[in-house]
Amino acid sequence: MQAMKRSILFDIVSICAIALLIVITFSWIEARKEVIYLCDNFVPGVPKYSVERQLNSTDFLMWDTVFSANGSRIDAYSPLHLGGMKCRVEFNKIDIVVYSGVE
C-alpha cells in the first residue's frame, strides 16, 4: 500500500514537472520571437513614439531608454533570455530611428 502511494505521488510530480518544462519552453520561444519580430519593425525613419507604442504592447519584453548627446537608445530584452538577446534601437536628436538590430 505504501509503495503504491509513493508511485502515485511520483507520477503526479513527474507530470507537473513535464508541464512546467513545456510552459517554460513555450514562453522562451515566444519571447525570442517578440525580440526578433519587433526589432524588424523598427526601420530607419520610424518615430520614437511608434517604437514605444509597439514595445508597450509586448508580453515578454522589458525595455530601457538611455540618453546621450547624439540622441537616445532603447534596449528591449526578455528576462527569460537572461540578457543574452536584445533589440537595440538608436534614435537621432529628433527622435527618429537611425539604427535597429538584434544583438
The helix (run of H) or strand (run of E) holding residue 34 is helix 2-41
% residues pLDDT > 70 (the chain): 99
**Which residue ranges make up each domain of the chain?**
2-102
Residue with cell 513527474: 14
Q: Whole-structure pTM over 0.85, yes or no?
A: no
d(CA 38, CA 42): 7
Model confidence pLDDT, tens digit, residues 30-72? 888 888 988 898 999 999 999 999 999 888 889 999 999 999 9
- Report the pLDDT value the prediction gives residue 21, as an integer from 0 to 100: 96
- Amino acid (1-letter code) at residue 100: S
